[in-house]
Amino acid sequence: MELILKKMRTEADLFCEENLPLMTEESKLGTQYSKILGAQTIDWDGEELTLTQVRSKLQTPDRDERKKLWELMSQSQLNDRDAINQLWEKFMDIRAELADNAGHPDYRSFRWQQRLRLDYTPEDSKEFVEAIKQIDGIELKIFKTERQLMRERLLSLFRLIINTRWSLLAIQR
């Protein structure tokens, strides 16, 4: 019950009547962005494919085919770069105003509260990411050590096989 009340208080604190038309505009921009992305296609073997369809084809084991698909996808996205950049400029202006109207220093802190992330802060998230990076580094060192041990074992086995063959050849002579 306490968490529910905390969330309700947070939503009430964030409410700002000046933000209602801005939120509507942000939603419209999101729709425009989705339309641009949804309309992106490529021609592949005489067939027009959406980028979603292309992504499934990227699973092919043929490297040259994956490369060509990726290049076509990238070109399709680059063709819409100007329209997307214009949308993002509008997004950034609206989002800065949303945060300012709600008394937040930036959009991230506004959005953090809006998403009701009340159990942890952005700083907690940064610390968590750093901790994961350290663990990844340790795991990478362990993996490299295990890989080195595996190489040494394979090399020993290879030497044993070679020495055994030479010994057998010497006996046969």
- For residue 139, give the nearest of 13, 47, 92, 131 by alpha carbon: 131
Asked if residue 42 lies in contact with residue 72, where contact means CB atoms within 8 angstroms, the answer is: yes
Asked if residue 40 lies in contact with residue 51, where contact means CB atoms within 8 angstroms, the answer is: yes
What is the structure's pLDDT at 128? 85
Asked if residue 57 lies in contact with residue 69, where contact means CB atoms within 8 angstroms, the answer is: yes
What is the structure's pLDDT at 165? 61
Residue at 102: amino acid letter:
A
Indicate the average pLDDT of the chain. Answer: 87
Task: Look at residue 47 and give its three-state secondary structure.
Answer: strand
Tell me the pLDDT tens digit for each residue of 148-162: 777 777 777 777 777
Render 95-108 in DSSP notation, one character per residue: HHHHHHHTT-SSHH
**Backbone φ and ψ of 117, nearest 5°:** -85, 85
pTM of the model: 0.66
How many Å apart are CA 13 and CA 19, to the nearest integer? 13
pLDDT band at 48 (very low <50, low <70, confident <90, very high): very high
